[in-house]
Amino acid sequence: MINVDCKKLLVLCFTLLTGVGCGNVATVSSTPSSFILAGNYWPDYTAIPVCFLNRQDFEETLVKDYKAIVEQEYYSKTSVRFTRWDDCTPDDQNKAVVRIRLDSSTITVYEGGYWGAVGGKSRVGAIPLPLEGEESATMRLEAPEIWANFSKPGNNFFLHEVLHEFGHVVGLMHEHQRTDSTQSCVGDAAAELASRVPSSEVFVYSGAYDSKSIMSYCNPLTNTLSSGDVLGIAEIVTRAAAFSPGQSPTPPPVAVD
């Protein structure tokens, strides 16, 4: 919490005649938290269904490790749980189910063992609508054909990508796109500024900017949820609980990398 000097604020309140009491000001939090989408909530955050469209085309160990990192981080730190982890059925197509398509085509391996990858993509929150150009998937995850070449735990780009995209599923937005970001994450100052999203009723800044967030492009190798991510997820779950299932605000579907 901000250590508020209420005497000074009282003078300010009086001078500006804002009608905002110091009691309200004192509730402003300086604890790093998150950037969240307020709406398109899941009906039950303890049972968000996940299925795969093409897991049979990839190694079992890859699918196992992708699931394991999600369980390790989300289950130990948040109240969110994901269910199923099986093959998608035709019945899943029009429902709010996380439909994952694994894709190796977006990974380039160069001579000498260097490689490049563009990153995953996902809908934010409970959205049945598929991603554009991704068949019926609501999430694309890059997945190396030979997982053993990339599966080293810790500072792992692919495991980061999995945790990051599941953050979008829960309702987290890109932390580095906050207008109060203190970092430069995309390498181009103009692009950086153009990508910023102001706080609004739908795109809500919860707490102060979190430089350690899994949702920031500044941390592409982070394999752990930050304390800010955890607080942001708790806020989403709390906000969602104020609505009956299916009655939450429905802002236009958001898709993000």
Of residues 4 and 185, the one with the C-beta less far from Zn ion: 185
- Minimum Å gap between C-beta 174 and Zn ion is 5
Task: Report the distance separating Cα 209 and Cα 199, nearest Å.
Answer: 12
> Do strands 121-123 and 255-256 pair parallel, antiparallel, or not at all (unpaired)?
antiparallel
Positive or negative, the Cα torsion across 187, 188, 191, 196? Answer: positive
DSSP secondary structure of 31-91:
SB-EEEE-SS--S-TT-EEEEESSGGGS-HHHHHHHHHHHIIIIIHHSS--EEEEEE--GG
Of residues 98 and 256, the one with the C-beta less far from Zn ion: 256
The region of 47-55, 97-105, 138-146, 249-257 touching Zn ion under the rule CB under 5 A is: 249-257
- Minimum Å gap between C-beta 195 and Zn ion is 11
Size of the residue set binding Zn ion (CB under 5 A): 1
Of residues 51 and 256, the one with the C-beta less far from Zn ion: 256
Of residues 99 and 121, the one with the C-beta less far from Zn ion: 121
Residue nearest to Zn ion (CB): 256
- Minimum Å gap between C-beta 7 and Zn ion is 43
Of residues 204 and 256, the one with the C-beta less far from Zn ion: 256
Residue 256 in the binding site for Zn ion (CB under 5 A): yes
DSSP secondary structure of 82-142:
EEEEEE--GGGTTSS-EEEEEESTTEEE-GGG-EEE---EEESSS--SPPTTSTT-SEEEE
Task: Report the distance separating Cα 204 and Cα 224, nearest Å.
Answer: 22
- Minimum Å gap between C-beta 257 and Zn ion is 5
Burial class (CB in 10 A: 0-12, 13-18, 19+), 56: exposed
Of residues 43 and 212, the one with the C-beta less far from Zn ion: 212
- Minimum Å gap between C-beta 172 and Zn ion is 8
User: Phi and psi of 240, rounded to 5°?
Assistant: -65, -35
Q: Which residues pair with 32 in a beta bridge?
A: 208
- Minimum Å gap between C-beta 120 and Zn ion is 7
- x-marked contacts with Zn ion along 198-237 as a string, rule CB under 5 A: ----------------------------------------
Q: Side-chain half-sphere of 72: how many Cα atoms within 13 Å?
A: 15
Of residues 35 and 82, the one with the C-beta less far from Zn ion: 35
- Minimum Å gap between C-beta 122 and Zn ion is 7
The region of 88-96, 101-109, 133-141, 248-256 touching Zn ion under the rule CB under 5 A is: 248-256
What is the binding site for Zn ion (CB under 5 A)?
256
